[in-house]
Amino acid sequence: MDNITILAIESSCDDTSASVVRDGYVLSNIISSQDIHAAYGGVVPELSSRAHQVNIIPVVDIAIKNSGIEKEEISAVAFTRGPGLMGSLLVGTSFAKGFAIARHIPLIEVNHLHAHILVHFIKDYNREVKVPAFPFLCLLVSGGHTQLIVAKDHYTMDIIGNTIDDAAGEAFDKCGKIMGLPYPAGPVIDKLASEGDKNAFRFTKPSVRGLNFSFSGLKTGFLYFVRDRLKENPDFINKNLPDLCASLQHTIISILIDKLVKASAATGIGEICIAGGVSANSGLRNALIDEGRKRQWNVYIPDLVYTTDNAAMIGIAGYYKYLKSDFASLNITPLANNYF
């Protein structure tokens, strides 16, 4: 069979990314992050879509150049259909349509959440990649989502647990904001936590039935805790920043791991993956390895570059759709709301 070469575009939130994926191997993966949102403490949708519009052509250009292939070798163009910010999705969708028409190649629509999970199937020229066996259980944790998913094959995935309010990434980001940290606060908290004591402070964990999650109570509890301590000592945050970060991170991780353990018991599945931006968290990665060892799970942890939003994940999902000739029509529209 000829090579299958996918040009992939991701523009669902605040990263403009393009990637070339050939037969499951990533030839290039260019990510242009939009720093402008940091000044606002969160993603501003209007600014995000404008920045995508500015970035998309150069990002695609570099992705193709870095991949070492010629445009003529591209078999199909894959793009994120959703969920995400409508204005941002429209930029990627329109670009992909234009590219498909210009090159007379198929268009492939990809669900952003499926794509996060499918990073576990990205191949590597330099090492044998251990891939999860179906059915596997995936904890998908990002800025917009916190879900437990059973993947039955590359295309069929069932959500068995979901957040009823905030996502885990939001808990990191919002609590970070309370501590005066820049957006996104997740990576900053991760770093500071490594110098702190995770048992310094205790925050109440939510009691949500079944396999669902809740993080808004933790955020409010954290806010009140910090507010009360600041009344006693205006320098409380500065004096205790690493301990605050370590204790908060520890609480979030234990909420996630508790539910993962429950989900594994409920489904009888011991093939366990993590995915999404929060799966970059070093504490979560280590906690999963420890828990896996204890419970004899096979655990799968993505390369850091494939945890936060990137187009390589759209490329691998697009590759599997190409294998089934699952192509989109040119009148397809983005879907901003959650769908699976």
Regarding 309 and contact with ligand KG4 (CB under 6 A), the answer is yes
Contacting range for ligand KG4; rule: CB under 6 A; set: 3-11, 137-145, 199-207, 257-265? 137-145
Contacting range for ligand KG4; rule: CB under 6 A; set: 70-78, 181-189, 232-240, 318-326? 181-189
Among 8, 9, 13, 122, indicate the residue that binds ligand KG4 (CB under 6 A).
13
Give φ, ψ of 82 to 5 degrees.
160, 180
Regarding 10 and contact with Zn ion (CB under 5 A), the answer is no
Q: Which 141-170 positions form the footprint of Zn ion (CB under 5 A)?
A: 142
Minimum Å distance from CB 2 to ligand KG4?
33
Q: 169: which 2 tokens?
A: 């990434």
Q: Residue 308, exposed/middle/buried by CB under 10 A (0-12, 13-18, 19+)?
A: buried
| Angle of CA points 337, 339, 340, to nearest 5° | 155
State the CB neighbour count (10 A cutoff) for residue 124: 11
Q: 81: which 2 tokens?
A: 């259909």
Regarding 184 and contact with ligand KG4 (CB under 6 A), the answer is yes
* Residue corresponding to tokens 């003529």: 72
Our CB check for Zn ion shows the closer of 166 and 309 to be: 309
Regarding 276 and contact with ligand KG4 (CB under 6 A), the answer is yes
Q: What is the spatial order of strands in the sheet that 157-162 belongs to? A: 157-162, 146-151, 136-141, 271-275, 298-300
Regarding 45 and contact with ligand KG4 (CB under 6 A), the answer is no
Q: Cite the DSSP H helix spans in 129-215.
A: 168-178, 186-193
Contacting range for ligand KG4; rule: CB under 6 A; set: 60-68, 197-205, 216-224, 278-286? 278-286
Preceding amide of 135 cis, omega within 30: yes
Among 55, 308, 320, 328, indicate the residue that binds ligand KG4 (CB under 6 A).
308
Q: Which residues bind ligand KG4 (CB under 6 A)?
A: 13, 142-144, 169, 172-173, 184-187, 190, 276-278, 280-281, 308-309
Q: Which residues bind Zn ion (CB under 5 A)?
A: 142, 309
